[in-house]
Amino acid sequence: RAMAARGGARERPDAVQLDRLLGERVRKELRGLRLLTQYGLNPLRRVHTVTKKPMSWHDNIEEPADEKFLNVIHHAALEPTKKYSEPQTESQEIGWNTTPLVSRVLKDSALCISGGK
């Protein structure tokens, strides 16, 4: 029977097998599917623009700056501690909290590490 299946004489799948194959295919497709509904510019990638013609009057009209685009660009230029409330990667965890745990106004010389006596 295994030889017949290899040779090309294969039985047609019944309705249960077809339903199982369809379910498996749908699960595989949904596993890699990600619905994206908001589109925007990548602020880290340069956009190559074509310069306008200097003598055409309709190209020389000043357009107002897009506030949303400027906010996205300025937000991308911020350092990670100002962008996020918590570190996003393992590397950012080192040095994320830069505030000292003990205040430096201590009068006790045993706790003072600065070396100034």
**Residue 114 lies inside a defined structural domain of this protein:** no
Q: Which comes out higher in pLDDT, residue 39 or 29?
A: 29
Would you say residue 3 lies in a domain?
A: yes
**CA–CA separation, 92 vs 84, rounded Å?**
11
Q: Domain containing 6: what range?
A: 1-35
31 in any annotated domain: yes
Q: How far is 98 from 95, CA to CA, in rounded Å?
A: 6
Exposed e or buried b per residue across 81-100, where buried means at least 16 C-beta atoms within 10 angstroms of its C-beta: eeeeeeeeeeeeeeeeeeee
What pTM did the predictor assign? Answer: 0.34
**53, part of any domain:** no
- pLDDT digit string, tens, across residues 31-83: 988 887 787 877 787 777 777 777 776 666 677 778 988 898 899 899 989 99
d(CA 1, CA 3): 5
Total domain count, the chain? 1
- Which amino acid is it at 86? E
